[in-house]
Amino acid sequence: MNDTSLPPHAPAARQPLSFAAIIRDRLVLVARAGGAVPPAALRACGARDVLVLDRGGPDAAVRDGDHVRKRYRTLADVRKNNCTVAILHGIAAAAVAEKKKFGPFSHLLVPLGWPLLAVAVGLLRYGRRKALVVRGATTLPVPGRRRRYLVIEAHSPPADNRRQFGPAGLSPLEVLRRLDGVDHVALRWSEQIEAGRHEGDIDILVSQRGLADLKDRFGREVGTYPLDVYTDDGQGGHGYKSVPYFTAPLARGLLESAAVTPGGIRVAAPYWRFLAFCYHLTFQNKSEHVAPGTVAIGPGTFHKPHYYPELERLAALAGRPVPRTYDDIERLLREAGVMPSLDLIGFYSNNNAFLKKRYFDRAPLPPGLATFFLRDFGAGLAPVDDLRAHLREQFQILAEGAVADENRARVLRGVRGGNWADKKAPQGVAHPVYWFVCLDPSPIKPSARTRRKHPRVDNERIRLKDLLRRKLVGKGNVPLRLVHSSDNALEAVDHIAHLGLTQDPRIAPHL
Q: Are 292 and 325 in contact (CB under 8 A)?
A: no
What is the pLDDT, as a whole number, of residue 14? 53
Statement: residue 362 has pLDDT above 70: yes
Dist. CA 251–CA 235, nearest whole Å: 13
Lowest mean pLDDT among 169-183, 325-339, 442-456: 442-456
Q: Are 89 and 34 in contact (CB under 8 A)?
A: yes
Going across the sheet that includes 483-485, the strands are 396-402, 432-439, 369-375, 483-485
Instruction: Tell me if 8 is assigned to some domain.
Output: no
Condensed to tens digits (0 to 9), the pLDDT of residues 19-65 reads: 999 999 999 999 999 888 999 999 999 999 999 999 999 999 999 98
- Structural domains in the chain (count): 4
DSSP designation for 370: E
CATH number of the structural domain spanning residue 112: 3.40.50.150
Residue-by-residue DSSP string for 192-206: HHHTT---S-EEEEE
Lowest mean pLDDT among 180-184, 254-258, 286-290, 452-456: 452-456
DSSP designation for 433: E
Query: Are 46 and 126 found together in one domain?
Result: yes
Instruction: Tell me if 5 is assigned to some domain.
Output: no
pLDDT band at 475 (very low <50, low <70, confident <90, very high): low
Statement: residue 122 has pLDDT above 60: yes
Query: Are 312 and 380 found together in one domain?
Result: no
Dist. CA 43–CA 210, nearest whole Å: 30
Query: Are 401 and 378 found together in one domain?
Result: yes
DSSP percent split of the chain into helix, strand, coil, nearest 5? 35, 20, 40
Query: Are 70 and 174 found together in one domain?
Result: no
Query: Are 54 and 140 found together in one domain?
Result: yes
Q: Any idea what the Cα angle at residue 489 is, between residues 352 and 249, rounded to 5°?
A: 60
Query: Are 236 and 187 found together in one domain?
Result: yes
Query: Are 290 and 402 found together in one domain?
Result: no
Residue 462: count of CB within 10 angstroms of its CB: 30
Query: Are 281 and 178 found together in one domain?
Result: no
For the entire predicted model, the pTM comes to 0.83
Condensed to tens digits (0 to 9), the pLDDT of residues 137-184 reads: 999 887 766 788 999 999 988 888 999 999 999 999 999 999 999 999
Domain end, chosen from 214, 246, 266, is at 266
Domain end, chosen from 362, 378, 399, is at 362
Instruction: Tell me if 135 is assigned to some domain.
Output: yes
Instruction: Tell me if 11 is assigned to some domain.
Output: no
3-state helix/strand/coil string of 204-233: EEECHHHHHHHHHHHCCCCEEEEEEEEECC
The one-letter amino acid code at 418 reads G
What is the pLDDT, as a whole number, of residue 1? 33
Query: Are 116 and 208 found together in one domain?
Result: no
Condensed to tens digits (0 to 9), the pLDDT of residues 85-120 reads: 999 999 999 999 999 999 999 999 999 877 788 788
Q: What is the mean pLDDT of the chain?
A: 90
Query: Are 403 and 287 found together in one domain?
Result: no
Query: Are 122 and 141 found together in one domain?
Result: yes
Q: What percent of the chain has pLDDT over 70?
A: 95
Domain end, chosen from 124, 154, 184, is at 154
Instruction: Tell me if 13 is assigned to some domain.
Output: no
Instruction: Tell me if 12 is assigned to some domain.
Output: no
Query: Are 235 and 179 found together in one domain?
Result: yes
Q: What percent of the chain has pLDDT over 90?
A: 68
Dist. CA 367–CA 490, nearest whole Å: 9
What is the pLDDT, as a whole number, of residue 7? 47
Provide the residue range defining the domain that includes 225. Answer: 159-266
What is the pLDDT, as a whole number, of residue 297? 97
Q: What value does the mean pLDDT take over residues 305-332?
A: 97
Q: Are 381 and 402 in contact (CB under 8 A)?
A: yes
Instruction: Tell me if 319 is assigned to some domain.
Output: yes
Q: Are 7 and 123 in contact (CB under 8 A)?
A: yes
Statement: residue 451 has pLDDT above 50: yes
